[in-house]
Amino acid sequence: MNAPDRLAATGSPPSAEPHVMQTYGRLPIALSHGRGCWVWDTDGKKYLDGLAGIAVNTLGHGHPKLVPALHDQVAKLIHSSNYYLVPLQEQLAARLCALSGLKNVFFCNSGLEANEAALKVARKYGHDKGIERPEIIVYEAAFHGRSIATLSATGNPKVQAGFGPLVEGFVRVPLNDVAAIENVARSHPNVVAVFLEVIQGEGGIRPTTIEYLKEARRICDERGWLLMLDEVQCGMGRTGKWFAHQWAGIRPDVMPLAKGLGSGVPIGALVCGPRAADVFGPGNHGTTFGGNPLAMRAGVETLRIMEEEGLLANAAEVGAFLKQGLERELAGVAGVVEVRGQGLILGIELDRACGALLGRAAAAGLMISVTAERVVRLLPALILSRDEAAQIVAILCPLIKEFLSEPA
């Protein structure tokens, strides 16, 4: 469907040229409102939301505790400025430090901003040690964002194409290969940090093993490097613990967060442990919007409601039920490579590109995503019920089977 047709389908005059820059291949669906794990489009069609705005709507839509709290905050103060104290920043930072065991937090507005801040921390950490050209270990198939520095750290040539020259100072290794980091350690004396996603999200729901995380922690400690874990997609309770690395019993030195932290209100956070906490001083980093009262309130309330409603346990339990359902229905189906992931971050890898499933699922009343071309991805709200999980399985698996039965 071309752009004018798309606009026609979403209610704009058919002849109008789009004024929104066409950087996304969008489905011709406009959502008007939501409740829990359900959303409705402008034609009144109802969808089960298996995507939650790409791991953002932690509490689903229109949560009865979050909405009044945000109303209250909007009426009191939306934005002030980092020229002044923002008490809600201290409140949210204290909670994040208590949950992670880390020391302090810089607030920003998105995942790439949190990662950009992490990269700056790593470089300055190096400079402070007298390393003039610090290097950072990054990963094949990683995704860290679309600013020039974060797309340079990203391990996807499609994201980088057309944007060279890329930022220097990255050394790339394969995931879950301890010998590869040790080789880099021997050959690159300027390495200062290891930067990875605990579960690669855009890369196709590819988990880092617990053993690898422990080894990465050990190597970073031995070498005085920073272990920087990008939990923008896999963090915030999605795996059943507050942060995905907690399954390995380790702590990072630097942890970028975003997406689910504000349950829909834009927010980013860089959480730092003792080794990284004092790297930035006044004047080293900043952002106009970062840490504004509305975003901070969204974060504080999201964490509070997650605790009150036991959403970590729900993510673990309903996620396991959903995964089992997918595995059961797709067992032995030719073309299904693997069902992967933990809690409510799940991927179904097929043996072929499956972008077409996005539109077919929407037509059947289910929101999903397809990433890394061949992986159907599910990132529903952490309030998902067993019944809703069963409905995802019941809608999605027949679609996948039908798709795979067609000539490739």
Ligand X SMILES: Cc1ncc(COP(=O)(O)O)c(C=O)c1O
Number of H helices, E strands in the chain: 14, 17
One-letter amino acid of 87: P
Three-state DSSP state, 58? coil
Min separation Cβ 256 and ligand X, Å: 7
Say whether residue 112 binds ligand X (CB under 6 A). Answer: yes
Q: How many CA atoms lie within 13 A of 187 on its CB side?
A: 10
**In angstroms, rounded to a whole number, what is the distance separating the alpha carbons of residues 239 and 146?**
25
Say whether residue 258 binds ligand X (CB under 6 A). Answer: yes
Say whether residue 57 binds ligand X (CB under 6 A). Answer: no
Min separation Cβ 2 and ligand X, Å: 26
Say whether residue 377 binds ligand X (CB under 6 A). Answer: no
As annotated, the active-site residues are 143, 230, 259
Size of the site for ligand X (CB under 6 A): 14
Say whether residue 115 binds ligand X (CB under 6 A). Answer: yes
**In angstroms, rounded to a whole number, what is the distance separating the alpha carbons of residues 202 and 371?**
6
Say whether residue 135 binds ligand X (CB under 6 A). Answer: no
Say whether residue 201 binds ligand X (CB under 6 A). Answer: yes
Of the two residues 144 and 297, which places its CB atom closer to ligand X in the complex? Answer: 144
Cβ-based neighbour number of residue 252 at 10 Å? 31
Min separation Cβ 145 and ligand X, Å: 4
- Mapped to the 3 state alphabet, what secondary structure does 248-276 carry? HCCCCCEEEECHHHHCCCCCEEEEECHHH
Question: Among residues 372, 364, 366, 365, which one has the least CA distance to residue 348?
Answer: 372
Min separation Cβ 270 and ligand X, Å: 12
Min separation Cβ 258 and ligand X, Å: 5
Return the structure tokens found at 77: 């103060």
Helix (H) or strand (E) segment spanning residue 6: helix 3-9
Give me the 141-160 binding string for ligand X, x by CB under 6 A, dash otherwise: --xxx---------------
> Looking at 49, 116, 135, 197, which residue binds ligand X (CB under 6 A)?
197
Of the two residues 111 and 291, which places its CB atom closer to ligand X in the complex? Answer: 111
> Looking at 36, 53, 111, 155, which residue binds ligand X (CB under 6 A)?
111
Q: How many CA atoms lie within 13 A of 312 on its CB side?
A: 15
Say whether residue 238 binds ligand X (CB under 6 A). Answer: no
Of the two residues 89 and 115, which places its CB atom closer to ligand X in the complex? Answer: 115
Question: Among residues 60, 150, 148, which one has the least CA distance to residue 111?
Answer: 150
- Residue with the CB atom nearest ligand X in the bound state: 111
Helix (H) or strand (E) segment spanning residue 116: helix 111-128
Binding site for ligand X (CB under 6 A): 110-112, 115, 143-145, 197, 201-202, 230, 232-233, 258
